[in-house]
Structure 1
């Protein structure tokens, strides 16, 4: 989905296939509005089984869509987190579903209060192209665990993966429970205008605004995962070789096409050369070459490939020093080797837009507070990374910055912790999912107050001016 979404309006009628599918799921939900723990676990078990059984086919489909992506990268970054999420969710689901008791004030006794978690109904999920399995199955796990029906809109940029997911999920779920929707931008627009009970979108901030605008027409609540420019701060005394290796892994995974990939690195000015050298060494250990290397992922399509090359041209024209870590390997066949950019300025595209590729700007700093202030002067990111073992610096980062998540001394791994909520803040998104927070996102926490036969509240019924009211005021309004 692109900015074109702003100029398109969906046209619905009773024969519209998308509307018919949505209505079918609504009707099915009405017949079973509170699935049991056993039923939900059965759904999750079926999903786990098909993911394990078809792992090779899924990895091959993603490789086909990208042109080149390591089968191991797909297993590690997509399938493994999905399977971990299913296992963790299944284990904890019974306790999540259990109503929670709440205290009732003495003023309202005798009574009992509790919170019950109910399914919302029909949930829509708009899936991006960069991790088409993980970012489809992750929300699906949470929505099914909460007892909902789900419609998944797969990106048109990953047609092979979309077709396979549609086929596989149809073998284990009826269409009125889980449905995969394929199609172009117009289909995506129509999808976002459906009156879902909740809509989750992962993608760019620009498209996220349009999705939110469409959802607002139906007062549909949204969860938006929008990414942004996730910074890294290298502490003054950080072990540089260790930090550079972990940053290199986070940046090179999926060729940087990751919403929480390190976007730029704040490095002590006196250690910039040391970082560049260590980063180059780490990249070459993992990828001795990038061209023809089955471990190194290509850029998803020609449009994204051209965008990244325009970023490099723009930065070079405006005075950046571009260090090609693989100087003899040219950008071709949608393969862009990792690059480091020095002398970057705020008027460069690489410092204004989420990079979503293997380009890494370096921003030197003199004082640690300067690095913190640099981050705080910019939109709040989805992820923030710090490298170093200085406890004072760690505390400073955690207390004086705001981000969707934070990871100390590594990159990306916070997203794979299913018991940690995942979500952005401000321009990087709203709402969260994964684990119990995901169960809550896709549930309605309904309050229930239960009164007994005896009703002391009758003593405060009109007409007012009774002695009981004067006593009440004397005891509680003082």
Structure 2
């Protein structure tokens, strides 16, 4: 495509996105508050869309990755999406009810309530690593709250984007839900949405937030960061290794809440490594197994191999957990890998990894671990393996993170009644469950005055009666 044709295509995509936005904004103005029945019907239609097109969805995602097992997509994307839709539909009636609030004792007879109302048109910017779940999750919350919704997907998700655009256009009115292909992220994030949710890197998140600021658009950012794992001496090492490796290898570690580095007591490091050496090959016989996901593209593959080269040059020991070669550039795969003897000068300890590489740090006392975590940006997740309630309370109280999972990794994201979101550098705002409904709702306060005037004696002109009443009210 020549430059002129490319520019024309971009202009057309922008115009089409703005046209759909206009249709959704007009529909919101005409019918700003969909009924419970309408919202449940939308969620039910979205669920049916997923269930009826499982194979096509799995194949599209596999094509986008180069290889991803259909079973992995079924478990991590289809099941979590469908289960979230069902849970939301079940609880939605209760969420939509106006909330009674207490009134001041001085306003006798007056009534207070908070009414959840839709914000309007919500924009969703989804990443490539979980391209279905990270579309359906925010859309579920936005539709439940009664909003219209536009979705922009990542360039690396072009096969799934094409499929979802077709399926959504078939099953939904354009003024309710639309997938917008080809429009650039800069154009999409600068549109005057009533709320915008972005999932991706912190660098791009800053750009999205900056663009949204011109429209005073509220933003939910789901970013990432370096999520730590702490394994305490009392916890069974084999069990810890099994659970940590599962979250580090699923989707080849390309997960925003994947363990990014691990703290293990210095006396237990070698035993933990030995368990990992046995567990990984039992799950993935070789790099070529279709059960093991490819790295998304060659640029990401080269970035990850660069981390390993840099760590090796600075004295780290690289432990390939699979038989055979460490990587296969043709398949765009890298074996699950432990990186030992790391220090903070290495790139692998400075940047979010987003791949199947796991640095190990050792400690002598938990206080060292706490101080290390506190000195860094708040991560999206923190993982703690211990059976001791007091240690659990201590670590939770002394650190900050978007979410916490105790004695496992990543499963807090699958709990629909827990909010999902970051803090600081790992993001802002929440979605999933009730918090997602609230995130995309305007919680509108309504004060209803009693029929009689509340305080005619406080109207001007002020005098002795006013002073006596104010003295009583202020407790003097």
Per the TM superposition, whether the score is higher than 0.5 is: yes
281, 285, 294: which one aligns with 2:290: 294
Cα shift at 1:465: 2.0
The TM-score with structure 2 as length reference comes to: 0.96
- The answer to whether the Cα contact below 8 Å between 1:14 and 1:20 also exists between their aligned partners in 2 is no
What is residue 4 of structure 1 aligned with on the other side?
Answer: none
What is residue 308 of structure 2 aligned with on the other side?
Answer: 312
Q: 5+ unaligned residues in a row in structure 2: which ranges?
A: 1-9
What is residue 201 of structure 1 aligned with on the other side?
Answer: 198
The residue correspondences of 1:2-41 to structure 2 (distance < 5 A) are 16-41=15-40
What is residue 181 of structure 1 aligned with on the other side?
Answer: 180
What is residue 152 of structure 2 aligned with on the other side?
Answer: 153
What is residue 403 of structure 2 aligned with on the other side?
Answer: 405
Distance 1:15 1:53, change over 3 A: closer
Specify the SS of the correspondent of 1:238. Answer: coil
Cα shift at 1:477: 3.6
- The answer to whether the Cα contact below 8 Å between 1:155 and 1:182 also exists between their aligned partners in 2 is no
Specify the SS of the correspondent of 2:20. Answer: helix
Query: CA–CA distance in 1 between the matches of 2:132 and 2:14?
Result: 30
CA deviations 1:307-338 (Å, max 9, x no partner) are: 11111111111111111112522411201111
Query: CA–CA distance in 2 between the matches of 1:102 and 1:256?
Result: 45
Query: CA–CA distance in 1 between the matches of 2:125 and 2:87?
Result: 24
Query: CA–CA distance in 2 between the matches of 1:252 and 1:396?
Result: 29
Query: CA–CA distance in 1 between the matches of 2:22 and 2:277?
Result: 54
The residue correspondences of 1:246-265 to structure 2 (distance < 5 A) are 246-265=243-262
What is residue 130 of structure 1 aligned with on the other side?
Answer: 129
CA deviations 1:291-312 (Å, max 9, x no partner) are: 2211100001111111111111
- The answer to whether the Cα contact below 8 Å between 2:112 and 2:446 also exists between their aligned partners in 1 is yes
Specify the SS of the correspondent of 1:406. Answer: strand
The residue correspondences of 1:266-285 to structure 2 (distance < 5 A) are 266-285=263-282
What is residue 227 of structure 2 aligned with on the other side?
Answer: 230
- The answer to whether the Cα contact below 8 Å between 1:381 and 1:404 also exists between their aligned partners in 2 is yes
The residue correspondences of 1:43-82 to structure 2 (distance < 5 A) are 43-82=42-81
What is residue 105 of structure 1 aligned with on the other side?
Answer: 104
The TM-score with structure 1 as length reference comes to: 0.95
Query: CA–CA distance in 2 between the matches of 1:387 and 1:14?
Result: 48
What is residue 389 of structure 1 aligned with on the other side?
Answer: 387
The residue correspondences of 1:438-457 to structure 2 (distance < 5 A) are 438-457=436-455
Structure 1 outlier segments of 4+, above 6 Å: 11-15
Query: CA–CA distance in 1 between the matches of 2:13 and 2:66?
Result: 39
Query: CA–CA distance in 1 between the matches of 2:180 and 2:313?
Result: 43
Specify the SS of the correspondent of 2:77. Answer: helix
Query: CA–CA distance in 1 between the matches of 2:177 and 2:14?
Result: 20
The residue correspondences of 1:458-473 to structure 2 (distance < 5 A) are 458-473=456-471
CA deviations 1:161-182 (Å, max 9, x no partner) are: 1101111111111111111111
314, 318, 324: which one aligns with 1:322: 318
What is residue 429 of structure 1 aligned with on the other side?
Answer: 427
Q: 5+ unaligned residues in a row in structure 1: which ranges?
A: 1-10
CA deviations 1:32-67 (Å, max 9, x no partner) are: 100000000000000001101101110111011111
Cα shift at 1:432: 0.5
1:190 aligns with 2:187: yes
- The answer to whether the Cα contact below 8 Å between 1:460 and 1:469 also exists between their aligned partners in 2 is no
- The answer to whether the Cα contact below 8 Å between 1:235 and 1:390 also exists between their aligned partners in 2 is no
Query: CA–CA distance in 2 between the matches of 1:383 and 1:242?
Result: 20
What is residue 213 of structure 2 aligned with on the other side?
Answer: 216
Cα shift at 1:14: 12
- The answer to whether the Cα contact below 8 Å between 2:13 and 2:181 also exists between their aligned partners in 1 is no
Aligned length, in residue pairs: 466
Cα shift at 1:12: 8.3
